[in-house]
Structure 1
Amino acid sequence: MRDLTLPSSPTFWRSPVRGTRFTSLLGLALLVGIPVVFATGLLSYAAYNPDLSPVNDQTPDKGLLGGYLFPWPTDPHWLYRLTQGVHVTLGITLVPVLLAKLWSVIPRLFAVPPARTLARALERLSLLALVGGGLFVFATGILNIQLDYLFPGSFYRLHFYGAWVFVAALALHVALRLPAALRAVRRRGGPPEGGADSGASDPGASDAGASDALRPAAPTTSRRGALWFVGAGSLLLLGTTAGRSFDGPLRATALLAPHGWAEPGDGPGGFQINKTAASVGVTPEETAAEVWRLALVGPAGTVRLSRSDLAALPQHTAALPIACVEGWSTSDQRWRGVRLRDLAGLAGHEEGSVPDVLVTSLQRSGAFRRAALRANQVADPRSLLALEVNGAPLTPDHGFPARVIVPAAPGVLNTKWVARMEFRQLSARDGGDR
């Protein structure tokens, strides 16, 4: 009588689809995609200018992990729209590949004894961080995309540290497994479609990380068919996600994205937002033109300007998109308002010595109620304190009476409902609290 009761039994796992080459192909696909997701994630982190701590920094203990950080540029103006769109869309597209890869090696998690050599012991330890880190990073990322913050603590901190754990484990795993995986992919001949690979007859098979069934069940699909199924799942997710990075008919294809198929509205302000004024506690009473005042703080002291005062200053127009960490973006919108560098001049800074700026919003809840921008962002002539968009005054949900708009910056740094702007040099040490 066959022992099928324990997962550690060699005869418990009977799927004929599992095999050395099947597992290796999935692993190589991830090896191509995950570094791109990781690199664009690091760029996304840099775009927040987290060295302006603790205002922008959600990961204050990053240490050497933040050693690569650099001042985020303003050119090209669609840079963050591209990098974050690739990060999120590719991450979602890889989900079926990741799940299929984990399914293909499940039997190895129950192997007894767990390790016979030091190299195999290191591999098993790396798998704990690899599998756990991978599932954690993908799960938190997908929850963030769907605006479901079910995890404890800051998304930025959890996702950042989780990604480094996952990638470190992946690097160790690749170092241990890549040669065997390449041997498996290059093999010619082998078992018939849908049958089990003969690991006993191929020395490389036992090293490739596959879990071949010793007593395979009757096949219901071939391995080629299983790979096509995984690929089709990835293409389906790509097709139902990528459209939210575009306006027009393509956005209607983003069925799985909260900023996809939902109609944002009509008119000049008919483009996507993340948060409404009501959701963050901004009331019509405090944003009324006769009540609201912008405070500019600098060497000249505190200068207070009404919306009509701002409208009387030289107005400039910039065509810029809104791009958010969740991966959605809009096409270029036509913003009109006062240049940030002109406001720095009103605050007492000489032309040519524009500093950083700390911006405070009227909003009472949510992250980045206060956000900092670097001097290069303030100095860009397209960086505005916008009063209008697409030829009409800002709507309350788009930041009326005034909002910041900066080329290539993440949407959350384009602060809405601006109340105060402090123009001065900020540092990683004091983050604007000096």
Structure 2
Amino acid sequence: MTPRLPAVRPPVFRGRLHDARTATSIGRWLGVAIALCFGTGLISHYLQQPPGWLADVLPSRPVWGYRFTQGLHVAAGIAAVPLLLAKLWAVYPKLFEWPPLRSVRHALERLSVAVLVAGAVFELLTGLLNTVQWYPWPFSFVPVHFAVAWLLAGALLLHIVVKYPQIKGHWTRKSPGTVALPAVDGPDRRSFLTGLAAATGAVTLTTVGQSFTPLKAFDVLAPRHPDHGPMGLPVNRTAAAAGVAQVDSAAYRLMVAGPRPYTLTLAELAALTQYESVLPIACVEGWSKSAHWTGVRVTDLLRRAGAPSDARIRVVSLEKYGSYRVMEMGREYAHDPLTLLALKLNGQTLDPDHGYPARIIAPNRPGVLQTKWVTRLEVL
């Protein structure tokens, strides 16, 4: 007679740290962080790669707009890391539920959770690696990160709809139907959530100084410090990496192509009326810092070339390689009086790593579009 094998029973988890109220409490914080990341991420994406209908209406004010939204984007993403880990720890016993699929609604719930977890892990991991400019994958970061953000947002909305009854029932301590389980897994819920809040605050405090400079003294974990770099300002791409480490100032020419095209030497460019702007460099990696720029107003260069007041422009760099060596600028930016073809930074001639002999600096604009080593402006 064939012996009967003992029935396989799923493990039983008990403890207040694995209950629905704990998961809901963490989920509220995590949901806010993901919503902030998604909203500010949309702003960043469409400022970097605006569709044609949007390019000419993107606002150039407030001057600190992109600095704020992108700093918030990266800060919220970093804060979401410990929150996501805590959320997964609180709900992982659900992976061992038996039977695995009890109904169509339960199957839909599990599918939404699988997509939600995979999307959240992917977005946070790739976003963190982007802050240090390390891309150990074969795909292009920007379009894939953007597409998965929409997938994550959809999965989160579906998850909220499916789980709404449980979320509503555990939203507050006084929610009806909440059952307190014995605290056999360690600290109670309040201690756990307090520790999680402290951890989230700690990683935020030690990284947000890269964009919120009043806290730069605590900037010990971020990949950039706002004061570290040539002329006291960080750079992402050096002149050597761009292939323009040696620029012959005597041979340099700025070409302005328009109805009345013309060419300027560096000496002629420096002899034009110079203006000053205090504007931040704000990079997609999350760091930013304001600086004092001196140069020629782009709108004056365009007017001299006979450009109409609603013209956008194309900016071409001496850079030999790179996705942003050619950049287009909508009319709001091109004709803003604060937008400069800068020749000086903080009163000194530009360092090669900051775009010598001339670079674009414009308000409320991503750093990748503040083109360095400019050699040509084209009226579109």
TM-score exceeds 0.5: yes
> Could you tell me which of 67, 71, 77 is aligned with 1:91?
77
Q: 1:69 to 1:384 in 2, by over 3 A?
A: closer
> Could you tell me which of 319, 326, 334 is aligned with 1:378?
334
Residue identity matched to 2:224: H
Q: Distance in 1 between matches of 2:376 and 2:56?
A: 26
Q: Distance in 2 between matches of 1:378 and 1:258?
A: 32
Compute the TM-score of the two structures, normalised by the length of structure 2.
0.91
1:198-241 residue CA offsets vs partner (Å, 9 max, x unmatched): xxxxxxxxxxxxxxxxxxxx433222222122111101111111
Unpaired runs of 5+ residues, structure 2, are: none
1:160-199 residue CA offsets vs partner (Å, 9 max, x unmatched): 001000000001001111231121233549666x726xxx
1:353-373 residue CA offsets vs partner (Å, 9 max, x unmatched): 241111111122332111111
Q: 1:361 to 1:15 in 2, by over 3 A?
A: farther
1:232-258 residue CA offsets vs partner (Å, 9 max, x unmatched): 11011111111111447x323222212
1:234 to 2:221 alignment: no
Aligned to 1:165: 151
Aligned to 2:239: 277
Which has the larger helix fraction? 2
Q: Secondary structure at the match of 1:94?
A: helix
RMSD: 2.4
Shift in Å, 1:69: 8.4
Aligned to 2:348: 392
Aligned to 2:317: 361
Unpaired runs of 5+ residues, structure 1, are: 53-66, 197-217, 425-434
Aligned to 2:104: 118
> Could you tell me which of 224, 245, 257 is aligned with 1:297?
257
Is contact 1:48-1:410 (8 Å) kept?
A: yes
Q: 1:149 to 1:22 in 2, by over 3 A?
A: same
Aligned to 2:228: 263
Q: Distance in 2 between matches of 1:328 and 1:386?
A: 21
1:175 to 2:161 alignment: yes
Q: Secondary structure at the match of 1:321?
A: strand
Shift in Å, 1:308: 0.7
Q: 1:22 to 1:247 in 2, by over 3 A?
A: closer
Aligned to 1:418: 374
Q: Distance in 1 between matches of 2:280 and 2:135?
A: 25
Aligned to 1:215: none
Is contact 1:280-1:366 (8 Å) kept?
A: yes
Percent identity (aligned): 41
Aligned to 1:61: none
Q: How does 1:187-266 map to 2 (within 5 A)?
A: 187-188=173-174, 195=182, 218-247=184-213, 250-260=215-225, 263-264=228-229
Residue identity matched to 1:162: V
Aligned to 1:206: none
Residue identity matched to 2:39: A
Is contact 1:92-1:237 (8 Å) kept?
A: yes
Aligned to 1:343: 301
1:123-150 residue CA offsets vs partner (Å, 9 max, x unmatched): 1111121111111111111110121112
Aligned to 1:62: none
Q: 1:70 to 1:354 in 2, by over 3 A?
A: closer
Q: Secondary structure at the match of 2:229?
A: coil
Residue identity matched to 1:397: D
Aligned to 2:22: 22
Q: Distance in 2 between matches of 1:95 and 1:137?
A: 10
Q: 1:153 to 1:349 in 2, by over 3 A?
A: same
Shift in Å, 1:14: 5.7
1:313-346 residue CA offsets vs partner (Å, 9 max, x unmatched): 2211111110010111002x12111111111123
Q: 1:374 to 1:49 in 2, by over 3 A?
A: farther
Shift in Å, 1:68: 8.7
The alignment of Structure 1 onto Structure 2 pairs a total of residues equal to 373
Q: Distance in 1 between matches of 2:93 and 2:322?
A: 44
Is contact 1:359-1:421 (8 Å) kept?
A: yes
Aligned to 2:32: 32
1:260-312 residue CA offsets vs partner (Å, 9 max, x unmatched): 287335xxx2212212111221131xx221111112111224x2211111112
Is contact 1:371-1:415 (8 Å) kept?
A: yes
Q: Secondary structure at the match of 1:43?
A: helix
Deviates more, 1:167-176 or 1:22-31: 22-31
Stretches of 4+ moved more than 6 A in 1? Answer: 67-70
Aligned to 1:307: 266
Q: Secondary structure at the match of 2:31?
A: helix
> Could you tell me which of 92, 98, 117 is aligned with 1:131?
117
Q: Distance in 1 between matches of 2:97 and 2:204?
A: 35
Residue identity matched to 2:284: V
Q: Distance in 1 between matches of 2:255 and 2:139?
A: 32
Aligned to 1:408: 364
Deviates more, 1:163-172 or 1:85-94: 85-94
Q: Secondary structure at the match of 1:421?
A: strand
Residue identity matched to 1:220: G
Aligned to 1:109: 95
Shift in Å, 1:42: 0.8
